[in-house]
Structure 1
Amino acid sequence: MSCGKGIFKRAYATIGVFDGIHRGHQLIFYQMLQRARHKGGRCVLVTFDPYPGEIFAPNNPIRRLQTEDQKRRFLVELGFEGMLVVGFSRELSQMSPGSFLDEILLAQLDLEELYVGYDFRFGRDREGGIEELESLSRSRGFRVFQVPALVDEGMPISSSRIRQALLAGDVASARRWLGRPHALEGRVVRGRGEGTRLLFPTANLELDPRILLPKDGVYVVQVEVETQVRGGVMNIGRRPTLTKSTFSNVEVHLFDWNLDLVGKTLQVHILTRIRSEKRFRSVEALKKAIQDDMSQARAALSRMGENTISEGDGVEQLRSVC
């Protein structure tokens, strides 16, 4: 997939932050991909980095659901051919709708059709809506399609709802709205060896600090490491029984894996939550709880099947979740 500057010819594009690429986003993508394939065009996603919220609230930014690498890989799987990353700034936010179209989008896209969500706004103070976009498009030679919201439990599926669910430990709702298990990506760094001393070695994950962490607790996971998938248990928390860290750590124990993971990048797919983190009276009580967690995780993985993270790809995946 091509990224960066340069003219994207015969572009069928959509624009937005698309954090998490949830089912509402996928509905937009599905309609655009089907149309582009029928017409012989190129599918291009236009997005922003940094995110607008990271500019306007730098001291309390909205945490991201995925890394940019995760987003790019998922877009390739879905069939996108290009991604235009616009550097967001306060100056950019003050552009008029027409200037934004001409100087940002049309300067790099040979645009045939633009697909936007139900709540799309653009330009200075978000003053441009669908009516203005359609008016501007007519004089600039491209068509606009607005895709309605995808509603679940009476409310549109949104990145904000998914963040709230993850912060509450509700990974089932997050999975339903994403159309797949939520995944954390991180590099394994050398830890203090506490898991090994407890006879349960763990991989300590270093994550992008902009990424949202789910609620502290113990989770059943499936982990992609290189070309393999392993079940396991993940703990997010401050290790209150052992060290009482001042911040949450992410540790993963992989079942049936004995090789060194330090320096490797893991994709950790969160399947279900076992329990909250708690402080135990003794190390022995902690070891007993970990054994129970592992037994529950193995049982859960057995019920779910060998590989629950492979849920289709490309347009077939979009069709299944939309």
Structure 2
Amino acid sequence: MRAHLHTGWRHIPAEARGMAAALGNFDGVHLGHAHLVHLLHAARPDLGLAVVTFEPHPRELFRPQDPPFRLTLPEERLAALSALGVRHVFQIPFDAAFSAMSAERFVTDVLHEGLGLRHLGCGADFVFGHRRGGNVTFLADRAEELGIGLTAVPPLTDASGPYSSTRIRRLLQDGYPERAAEELGRAWSIRGVVQHGDKRGRLLGFPTANVPLGRHLEPARGVYAVTVRLADGRAWPGVANIGRRPTIDDGQESRLEVHLLDFDGDLYGQTLSVGLHTLLREERRFAGLDALKAQIAEDAATARAYLDTLSRTGT
């Protein structure tokens, strides 16, 4: 069941009030986030399960000059939270006015009065409010006064330390989508609307769907074996290039171009979710279009073999 999305904290319908809600940015919705959601539900299984999150990510407001860094944009995040059993997502607009709200007002005005929450869950390092003025100790004190329960969850860790969005970003930028998938609990995906390109792939015999990276993190440049989820829900094997196409382009803009294996159809204007499985090779320049065409054919064959193996083993 898909979670119901509320794009604010005012005028919440009665059926969405009285929830147990996890608080945070939830970029990536990784296993650490899943751990928080599961423990919150275990603490109050009698309450509906919700998440309070923010859009855009606060870093996008405070550091707009930074390169795009997001693991998940709102649609992908909503889908991942829905898969965890979350029924309501309160996506609060994070703008200059909201960033100036005090920690006290966030608890009383937003969590208590606006959303009517009955139990909260957060990481032990959760901070909030103007200039990060509120922490878990403050939240626990105020929540108790307001009759709201709180479950503060220590981070989920492995041999490398706590699971975190930062760690997953680094794995993707270093070219390890398999390891990122282990920490996400699923393949990392880029979701976007197919745009018209220069039709170069079609001329080379491998038509591609062009999906802008937008605000997504740019992973390591190169060719990947991927699974593409279409707008109608079908999953399709493919091979994708992420980079600046040094052989045929001016190298000014990175893009995602995905070729769906054995697919015949028009994808323009559709929203695709492209899940990265493994980096087949790094981006490089070829001597000419014939060499590039031969390499693309080899990449497609390699991707097909890799994805066939994944399908057979169920991984």
Q: Is the structural similarity TM-score above 0.5? A: yes
Q: What amino acid sits opposite 1:3 in the alignment?
A: H
Distance in 2 between the 1:230 and 1:85 partners?
Answer: 31
Aligned length: 306
Bigger Cα displacement from structure 2, 64-73 vs 14-23: 64-73
1:3 maps to what in 2?
Answer: 6
Q: Is the 8 A contact 2:68 2:218 kept in 1?
A: no
Distance in 2 between the 1:100 and 1:247 partners?
Answer: 40
Aligned counterpart for 2:248 among listed residues 242, 247, 250: 242
Aligned-residue sequence identity (percent) comes to 36
1:132 maps to what in 2?
Answer: 138
Q: What amino acid sits opposite 2:129 in the alignment?
A: G
Distance in 2 between the 1:161 and 1:142 partners?
Answer: 32
Q: What amino acid sits opposite 2:255 in the alignment?
A: N
| 2:46 corresponds to 1:43 | no
Cα offset, 1:157, TM superposition: 0.9
Q: Is the 8 A contact 1:229 1:307 kept in 2?
A: no
Cα offset, 1:158, TM superposition: 0.7
Aligned residue runs from structure 1 range 70-85, under 5 A? 70-85=76-91
Q: Which runs of 5+ in 1 are unaligned?
A: 310-322
Cα offset, 1:35, TM superposition: 3.7
Aligned counterpart for 1:12 among listed residues 16, 20, 36: 20
Q: What amino acid sits opposite 1:29 in the alignment?
A: V
Deviations 1:58-78 (A, max 9, x none): 111652111211112222232
When residues 299 and 76 of structure 1 are mapped into structure 2, their CA distance, relative to the original with a 3 A threshold, is: same
Q: Aligned with 1:245: secondary structure? A: coil
Cα offset, 1:2, TM superposition: 4.5
Q: Which runs of 5+ in 2 are unaligned?
A: none
1:54 maps to what in 2?
Answer: 60
1:286 maps to what in 2?
Answer: 292
Cα offset, 1:242, TM superposition: 1.3
How big is the alpha-carbon RMSD for the aligned residues of Structure 1 and Structure 2? Answer: 1.8
Deviations 1:41-83 (A, max 9, x none): 1212111112111111111165211121111222223222212
Distance in 2 between the 1:67 and 1:2 partners?
Answer: 14
Aligned counterpart for 1:191 among listed residues 173, 197, 220: 197
Q: What amino acid sits opposite 2:115 in the alignment?
A: L
Bigger Cα displacement from structure 2, 163-172 vs 27-36: 27-36
1:203 maps to what in 2?
Answer: 209
Q: What amino acid sits opposite 2:33 in the alignment?
A: H
Aligned residue runs from structure 1 range 25-174, under 5 A? 25-36=33-44, 38-39=45-46, 41-60=47-66, 63-174=69-180
2:227 maps to what in 1?
Answer: 222
TM-score of the superposition, structure 2-length normalised? 0.91
Distance in 2 between the 1:154 and 1:252 partners?
Answer: 33
Distance in 1 between the 2:129 and 2:211 partners?
Answer: 39
